[in-house]
Structures are given as structure tokens and as C-alpha cells.
Amino acid sequence: MAAFSPTMAMNMVVHPLQRHIKEIKRRLMVVGATIMVFFVVAFSYSGLLIEWFKRPFEDDLIFYAPAEALFASIKISFLAAIVVSVPMILYQFWKFISPALLKQEQKWAVPLFFLGLGFFLLGLAFCNLVILPLVIDFFVTFGMDRAITPELAVGMYVDFNVKFLLAFGFAFEIPLVLSLLARVGFIQADQLIQYRKYAAMVALILSAVVTPDATMFTMLLMAVPLIMLYEIGIWGAKFFGRPPQPSPKNLDEEDEGESADSGATEDPQV
């Protein structure tokens, strides 16, 4: 029988990792193809989408560069394609993590699917009905109070809206994702609590990157909900997470302790 070598141990680790990477690539290709198909369809209705987008702003949008209207249509069509592709994105995510779940846990597929879709749509609705009107009204009023006439370019306006909507749509998936990762044993609630301050820092950095103007007002409008969603994810990990499994070292120590206790309680033979 061949001796167990470090090379064999390395192969045992690398081969599963390669399979996971191939699986991720395959599922990302499926998601990408789905988004492209819906993008082509959405581009045909980009005019209606832009008209719907400009509801918070009463005046007409303008464009300065010849291709600005085209790029604005591409961005808004890409957003619509992602929104319509969310069911496929959630399905591919579920199929990737489902092998790590028990059979009774895999029965959650349908409820979690609709829950994830609901969270995404809730994020879009919250952003569209609360955040965007508040932000646009704040900046437009700020300029008009200083006798500046607002003339918004369609490219910047659409870019502003798309970034906010996508950020909030996917941000509202944070509690569900953290709960699922805790359920399959990838993370623990204690780890999320330990990295809470780093999560807050990441939320501020992401808000500064995603928000087009990166002012303190818009950063806080995005960062505060992100931090709150992270806290909800901690509670989800506490209630739905899988209990931590004892390491082999701890199991050996427990076995040795039980053996010592059993030996100490045995009656000595005469």
C-alpha cells in the first residue's frame, strides 16, 4: 500500500476546489446569457423606461453628447434585464449551495426563492419610492434656492438612478444570504458580530463608490440601510444558522476525558 504523501493531500484539497470553480463559472455563464437575452428585449422599450424613470423630476431631460442618449438607454435596459433575471440568479445561487444542505433543508428551495425575489423587489421599491425622490428633491431644491435653473442630462440622471436601484436591490438580499451561509456552516453569527465594525466600514466605502456625487448626505442614505441589513443578517444567522461542529481535536480530547472518567469510576478488583 502506497504511503500517504503531502502531494496526495494537496490533490485532495485542489480537486474539490477546481470543481467548485468550474461550477461557479458555469452558473455565471448561465446568468450572463439570461441577462443578455433580456437586455435585448428591454432595449426595445428603453424610451418608455426613461419616461418612467424621470417621474421624480418634472422638467424634460436633455443630453449634451451625441451618444449620451444611447448610453442612457443601454444603462436603463441593463437594469431592467437584471431585475427580470433575478429569479434565474437566485435559482443558480440555490443550486450552487444546495449540495451542502441536508435533504430536509433542500425543501426550503421554493419559499427561499420567493423570499429572495421579494427582498430584491422590496429594495427596489424602497429606493424608488423613498430614497430617490428624497435625494433628487434635495439636490434640485438646493440648486434652485441659489437661483440656479435645473437642467439634468439624461445620461447622468439615468446613471444616478441605476446605481441607487441596483445597490438597494442587492443590498436587501444581505439578510437572506447571511442566513443561508450560516445555515450551510460557512459562517457563524459570532463571526458576523466580531466583524461588525469592519462591515460598517465596508458599507461606508461602498456608499462612497456607488453614489455618483459621494456627498455625506447620499452616503449616509445608503450606508445606514446597509448597516441595518447587516444587523438583520446577524439575527438571521443566530436563528437559522447551523450549530458549530466540534473540531476533531476537541472530539479526541472529549473521548480521552470520558475514558479517564470511566477508568476512575471503575471498582478495583480484589
Are 35 and 85 contacting, i.e. CB atoms less than 8 angstroms apart?
yes
> What number is the average pLDDT over the span 82-107?
78
SS3 of 153, please?
Answer: strand
CB-count burial class (<10 Å; 0-12, 13-18, 19+) for 180: buried
Residue 43 is predicted with a pLDDT of 93
Name the E strands within the chain.
Answer: none
Q: Side chain identity at 260, as an amino acid letter? A: A
Are 89 and 33 contacting, i.e. CB atoms less than 8 angstroms apart?
no
How does pLDDT run across 230-268, given as a tens digit for each residue? 998 898 888 877 666 655 555 455 555 555 555 544 444
What is the value of pTM for the model shown? 0.66
Higher pLDDT, 128 or 8: 128
Q: What does the alpha-carbon distance between residue 156 and residue 23 come to, in Å, rounded to a whole number? A: 37
How does pLDDT run across 120-170, given as a tens digit for each residue? 889 888 888 888 888 888 888 888 888 888 888 888 888 888 888 888 888
Residue 259 is predicted with a pLDDT of 52
Q: Side chain identity at 222, as an amino acid letter? A: M
Are 231 and 174 contacting, i.e. CB atoms less than 8 angstroms apart?
no
Q: Is the pLDDT of residue 8 over 70?
A: no
Quick one: which of 133, 144, 153 has its CA closest to 55? Answer: 133
Are 73 and 50 contacting, i.e. CB atoms less than 8 angstroms apart?
yes
Q: Domain coordinates of the chain in residue numbers?
A: 27-97+140-166
